[in-house]
């Protein structure tokens, strides 16, 4: 229905992406996204070892015959991560596309290129996107301030950030942050992007392996139901607003506060076990974007992708031309 530089270069049916999400980007979700004609990314570091990643890639391949990718998020950690081993698994498993995020992907790009793997790099600013293009990535996913996860510290929303990026980049731009429906896809295309990335929308899907309480909470939350945390520690993150995020915000604002003061509350293990697996939505941090305000039901991945594309097509082909005619 839509042909863009993204769909051509990545050989995709639809200009829709489900980017890598820690503890959520598993084969159950990503295979369903692929079967719906969109591009989904397994989260490499959701798997405890490179060997486990190889098994998850194989499991995903057994559930779909369509393309999917792997996200490799490169961040400083207390416990060293064997990135080279994860990279080797991605290459040896025959994955065709990788999404990099976090730190500079340069140490990995030569190996991916030599293996014929296309790379999409996630960026939160135009300057970082331009640097990624110079390094040789095939596309950039640009995250507006509305996004879940780490929006950076510039606080530029997508309505400005997306066209600012597409004006300066010659590679495809995937618009990310605040997208959950076809109106967003139509807007992103109008702003010069060639696809959209939806994260929170796919968390509230039938196939996402998170507790139903989390999915239902997303559908009742509104656009105000997120909170920025860790800004005081130069690591701004957008999460779902709950008692834990509010307590972290209070502690972080105290004089001389350090991350150690909130580390237990902010524990990723706590979020995964108590919230995503256990369904205690008020018991830990969990990622959610402002797009919660646009999500009011749990759908299958097929329904999400199909409704998004159909709505965008209807807006572009039917409703917007009517407005042009009215102006005349």
Selection from 29, 42, 22 nearest residue 90 by Cα: 42
Share of the chain above pLDDT 70, in %: 98
Q: How confident is the model at residue 11 (pLDDT cuts 50, 70, 90)?
A: very high
Q: Which residue ranges does the chain devote to CATH 3.20.20.70?
A: 5-210+294-327
Q: Which tokens belong to 116?
A: 């014929």
- Integer Cα distance of 48 and 84 in angstroms: 14
Per-position DSSP letters for 123-137, written without gaps between them: ESSHHHHHHHHHHT-
Which helix (H) or strand (E) segment is 190 a member of? helix 182-190
Q: Which two tokens stand for residue 237?
A: 């993150």
Strand-pair category, 97-102 with 69-74: parallel
Quote the strand ranges of 44-89, DSSP E. Answer: 69-74
Note the CATH number of domain 5-210+294-327.
Answer: 3.20.20.70
Per-residue confidence (pLDDT) for residue 15, from 0 to 100? 98
The percentage of residues in the chain with a pLDDT greater than 90, rounded to a whole number, is 95
pTM of the model: 0.95
Q: Taking 60 as the threshold, does the pLDDT of residue 328 lie above it?
A: no
Query: Cα dist. 69→3, 34, 42, 61 in Å?
Result: 20, 9, 6, 11
Q: Are strands 97-102 and 195-197 parallel, antiparallel or unpaired?
A: unpaired
Whether the pLDDT of residue 326 is over 80: the answer is: no
């Amino acid at each position: 229905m839509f042909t863009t530089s993204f769909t051509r270069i990545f050989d995709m049916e639809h200009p829709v992406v489900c980017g890598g999400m820690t503890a959520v980007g598993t084969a159950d979700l990503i295979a369903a996204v692929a079967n719906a004609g969109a591009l989904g990314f397994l989260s490499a570091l959701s798997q405890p070892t490179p060997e486990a990643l190889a098994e998850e890639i194989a499991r995903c391949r057994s559930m779909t015959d369509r393309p999917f990718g792997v996200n490799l998020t490169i961040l400083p950690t207390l416990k060293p991560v064997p990135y080279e081993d994860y990279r080797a698994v991605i290459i040896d498993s025959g994955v065709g596309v990788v999404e990099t995020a976090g730190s500079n992907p340069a140490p990995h790009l030569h190996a991916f290129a030599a293996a014929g793997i296309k790379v999409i790099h996630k960026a939160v600013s135009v300057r970082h996107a331009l640097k990624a293009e110079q390094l040789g990535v095939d596309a950039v996913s640009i995250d507006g301030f509305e996004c879940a996860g780490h929006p950076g510290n510039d606080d530029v929303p997508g309505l400005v950030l997306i066209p600012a990026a597409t004006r300066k980049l010659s590679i495809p731009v995937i618009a990310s942050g605040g997208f959950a429906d076809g109106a967003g896809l139509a807007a992103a295309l109008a702003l010069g992007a060639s696809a959209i990335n939806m994260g929170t929308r796919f968390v509230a899907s039938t196939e996402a392996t998170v507790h139903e309480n989390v999915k239902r909470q997303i559908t009742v939350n509104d656009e105000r139901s997120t909170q920025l945390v860790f800004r005081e520690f130069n690591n701004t993150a957008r999460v779902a607003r709950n008692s834990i995020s509010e307590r972290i915000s209070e502690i972080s604002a105290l004089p001389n506060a350090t991350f150690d003061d909130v580390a237990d509350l902010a524990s990723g293990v706590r979020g995964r076990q108590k919230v995503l697996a256990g369904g205690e939505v008020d018991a830990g941090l969990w990622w959610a974007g402002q797009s919660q305000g646009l999500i009011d039901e749990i759908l299958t991945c097929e329904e999400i992708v199909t409704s998004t594309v159909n709505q965008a097509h209807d807006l572009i082909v039917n409703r917007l031309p009517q407005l042009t005619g009215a102006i005349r």
